[in-house]
Amino acid sequence: MGTPAPLSNPRATLQVAQFDDRHFCLLVDDFLLNPDELVQFTADRRAEFNSVDFSYYPGVYRMAPADLADRPTDYFQSQARRRFDARRCVEAICRYSIVTLPPQLLHPIQWLCHRDDVGLDARLSMQASVLYLFRDPELGGSGDIAAPDRLSADPRSGRLTLNGFFTCRRNLA
């Protein structure tokens, strides 16, 4: 099986969740037409997941193939970029991730909310996305995992996500 061909759903819905007058989150529902194909794609390549050694992410990851990574990147560029302080995308990283560490194995820094753009050049901004590919609601969202005993490195039953990180030049002042 080659790289899956999950097409973005043209009927995906985009909503803005406003936290205050400066902070918000974009929510995109039904982004993919066939998310199960992505789950199967990663399950077929389970051995290609590695422990994360570049951040405090509590699990394993696998980089997304370039042609798949282009889809969330294209969506970000066409539908979301203009809503942020983001003029032109200079780097995009997309990877599959699976949370595997139970709470008792986490370091204190992993208990806290964090920012991925710490140390970023002031002329740049970074936006992040999370596409949930698991169905078990007990595996949580916002890192709140109600049933950590259900964590698994198996993409078919674990807390599989496709994460995108988009570094962009800031808008001209």
pLDDT tens sequence across 145-163: 889 999 999 999 999 999 9
Res 3: pLDDT? 54
User: CB–CB of 9/38 below 8 Å?
Assistant: no
Q: What percent of the chain has pLDDT over 90?
A: 60
Q: Where are the domains of the chain?
A: 35-169
Q: Which of 50-54, 73-77, 103-107, 140-144 has the lowest mean pLDDT?
A: 140-144
What is the band of 53 on the pLDDT scale with cuts at 50, 70, 90? confident
What is the rounded CA–CA span in Å between residue 149 and residue 105?
13
What is the rounded CA–CA span in Å between residue 25 and residue 13?
14
Res 2: pLDDT? 56
What is the rounded CA–CA span in Å between residue 160 and residue 98?
5
> Nearest to residue 40, comparing CAs of 161, 153, 155?
155
Q: What's the pTM value of the predicted model, to 2 decimals?
A: 0.89
User: CB–CB of 154/42 below 8 Å?
Assistant: no
The 10 Å Cβ neighbour count of residue 150 is 15
> Nearest to residue 166, comparing CAs of 137, 139, 128?
128
Res 172: pLDDT? 82
User: Helix or strand or coil: residue 41?
Assistant: helix
